[in-house]
Amino acid sequence: MNEKSINWLLFFINPFISMILSFINYTKPYAKNIFWAFCIFYGFTFAIGKESTGSDINRYIEQLHFFYENYDFTISELIVFFKESGEIDVFNLIITYFLSKFTNTQEVLTMVYAIFFGFFYSRNIWYVLGFLEGKLDILLKFLVVALVLIVPIWYINGIRMYLAFHVFFYGLLSFIIENKKSKLFFLYISFLIHFSYLIPIIIFLMYRAFGNRLNIYFFIFIISLFVSQLNINAINSNLEKFVPQRINERTEAYRAESAIEAKNIKRNSNNKRWYLKWHGIAIRWSLYIVLTYLYLFGNQLIKKSLVWQKLLSFSLIFFSLSNVLMNLPSGGRFFVFAYFLTLILGIKYLYENYQDFKFRFLITFLTPAFLLFIIVSIRMGFYTFSLTTLIGNPLIAILSTGNNISLNDLIK
């Protein structure tokens, strides 16, 4: 039996262990598919804990039940339903509708989500791992683990926003790294999964028009750091003037001042658990520092590489956007764009410029912040990981359908 067969056999014995080994053996051609398979297994063993009772996934399950109970719902009625719902995103609605023709179970729904999410997630991570050869030192490992946890598999809890993220980057990364345009199709269709991706698509088009203007982008980035409050009324009036009515209606809940107040209340509530507040601050300010260092001290080297110029440009642009939008409800979610790109830039720079001891010292200094982010991110996975996810296998998962309890609920 060859090595590939042994690893797939291990997957059917314990998918979690096989997933860990897929990262250890990341250079093997089968590794990313084993990781994808684990994502699918996780989706089938997905558990909705008490902390997830108000999350989007519950609404998606209710919609699945609605379509399942109304089996005679026709395509034309679905179109009417879509128009009257006020929704813009079509992907999740189509998936839920067609899946309801066969089942109404949460496990199948989240497994299907994981099939799509896991494919693009595994491809994006292994695309970055493809830069790296040989044994990685501890600093590179920290950065790689942090990258994997920026938008991890348990984010299928909010499938539309975060599936769209990996679809968007599936198109963007090959353009940045290899200047390939063949996958840009995925970047452009990401807004069908979540309407807010019209913003990064517009930014991408603006970048293609203006190119790598690093000094201008860095200046805008610095200015954005001092933007602490937006004039919400001005944003609302401009949106109402210049964008279609359906988009206005769909975004109203995200822009309303009452929604901003509700977000602040939730943020204050989360502040009682210091780690929820500080793990986000830790990664954000660490990457601010990394980005600033690379602009100020790595600029001469970066100017020699078009790839580094693109990564630095997009990192600065998306950090600037996120800093401006962070006071809007859900606006802070755009930080993951900047985190992902800046970590890729840091990984590539550290790997290819091993002799830059000042940068190595900087990453070493920031290691506690990265470690806090990693620990809290993994802990958040406990909200949807079940015991079956960790110690079970596909057969046990089928036998335990409907009985999965989150690790967080088990601990408490």
Domain range list for the chain: 206-381
Q: Any idea which residue has 């409800």 for tokens?
A: 329
263: CB partners within 8 A, 6+ apart: 329
Q: Any idea which residue has 């900047």 for tokens?
A: 338
pLDDT at residue 274, rounded to an integer: 65
CB of 55 closer than 8 Å to CB of 384: no
pLDDT at residue 116, rounded to an integer: 97
pLDDT at residue 233, rounded to an integer: 55
Instruction: Return the amino acid letter for 370.
Output: F
pLDDT at residue 258, rounded to an integer: 46
Angle between helices 91-99 and 106-129 (to 10 degrees): 130
What does the alpha-carbon distance between residue 344 and residue 174 come to, in Å, rounded to a whole number? 13
**Eight-class DSSP state of 227:** -
pLDDT at residue 87, rounded to an integer: 67
Q: Could you tell me which of 36, 171, 186 has the C-alpha nearest to residue 111?
A: 36
As given in the structure block, the two tokens for residue 132 are 């790296």
pLDDT at residue 262, rounded to an integer: 46
pLDDT at residue 325, rounded to an integer: 84
Neighbours of 153 (CB within 10 A): 27
pLDDT at residue 404, rounded to an integer: 87
DSSP string of 343-362, one letter each residue: HHHHHHHHHH-TT-HHHHHH
pLDDT at residue 371, rounded to an integer: 94
pLDDT tens over the chain, length 412 residues: 688 889 899 999 999 999 999 999 999 999 999 999 999 999 999 998 777 766 788 889 998 998 888 877 777 877 777 776 666 778 888 899 889 989 999 999 999 999 999 999 999 999 999 988 877 889 999 999 999 999 999 999 989 999 999 999 999 999 999 888 889 999 999 999 998 899 999 999 999 999 999 999 999 999 998 875 555 555 555 555 555 555 555 555 554 544 444 444 444 444 556 667 788 899 999 999 999 999 998 867 777 788 889 999 999 999 999 998 887 766 678 899 999 999 999 999 999 888 889 999 999 999 999 999 999 999 999 999 999 999 999 999 999 888 888 888 888 6
| Residue 33 Cα distances to 28, 37, 40, angstroms | 10, 6, 11
What does the alpha-carbon distance between residue 223 and residue 282 come to, in Å, rounded to a whole number? 21
| Residue 399 Cα distances to 44, 229, 302, 376, 393, angstroms | 12, 52, 54, 31, 10
